[in-house]
Amino acid sequence: MKKWLIPVIIIAVVAFGIYNWAVGFNNTAVEYQANAKTEWSNVESSYQRRNDLIGNLVKTVQGAADFERTTLREVIEARAKATSTTIDAGSLTPENMAAFQQAQSGLSGALSKLLVSVERYPELKANQNFLELQSQLEGTENRINIARNKYNEAVNIYDIHISKFPNKILANMFNFEDMPRYSADPGSENAPDVDFNFN
């Protein structure tokens, strides 16, 4: 065997190993990123369901002749803002996420105020359609929470993969960046409980 052939074989083996590592890293990162984006779509879908239910809730509440118009207007405006604030899965930046959270938080606050106000309206508390919508909203809030948690879990798997050494080197080369997590709304640790079940 010629002496020059040994270094060539070593270089070829090392190059093949690096290639396999790079391909494996890239494919796994793409898969984890796609999973996180899918989970984000599920978050938006859950919020869309809530927006649809709130629209029906508003129509039901509008039937109460003397219901507070200001409260209704706040819900309608917050819903319009929340509906118009969406994020494409490819545009998940901390700034976009903050804007989305702020819009959804505004709607949550307006909705809470509306549901508290209903306590003063016996005809609404006895309205079967209203009670059914209320129950569906409660279930949707749970779905939203589950969807956000699943999104954060998927982001965590992706972020860990691209942040570990030596993967971080390839992540920088291939432009894989950390994805933003869905965090608790500011002040939510002090938020009052809203009882969806009026008796």
Tell me, yes or no, whether 5 lies in a domain. Answer: no
| pLDDT tens for each residue of 104-152 | 888 888 888 888 887 777 777 777 888 888 889 889 989 999 999 999 9
* Residue 39 reports pLDDT greater than 60: yes
Per-residue pLDDT tens digits for 6-36: 788 888 888 888 888 888 899 999 999 999 9
The single-letter DSSP state of residue 197 is -
Would you state the pLDDT for residue 185? 65
* Residue 158, in any domain of the structure: yes
For residue 171, give its domain range: 22-190
pLDDT at 2: 73
Mean pLDDT in residue range 153-165:
93
Does 111 fall in a domain?
A: yes
* Separation CA 165–CA 185 (nearest Å): 32
> Of 147, 142, 40, whose CA–CA distance to 93 is shortest?
40
Does the residue 84 lie in any domain?
Answer: yes
Q: How many domains does the chain have?
A: 1
The pLDDT value given to residue 67: 65
pLDDT interval class at 155 (50, 70, 90): very high
Supply the pLDDT for residue 198.
Answer: 42
Residue 182 and residue 152 in contact, taking contact as beta carbons nearer than 8 Å: yes
DSSP state, 121? -
Give the total residue count for the chain.
Answer: 199
User: Is 10 a domain residue?
Assistant: no
Q: Specify the CATH number for the domain of residue 77.
A: 1.20.1440.20
In a domain, 17, yes or no: no
- Burial class from Cβ neighbours inside 10 Å (0-12, 13-18, 19+) for residue 173 reads exposed
Asked if residue 2 is part of any domain, the answer here is no
Is pLDDT of 56 > 60?
Answer: yes
Q: Using an 8 Å Cβ cutoff, are 98 and 14 in contact?
A: no
Q: Please check whether residue 4 lies inside any domain of the structure.
A: no
Please tell me the pTM assigned to this model.
0.77
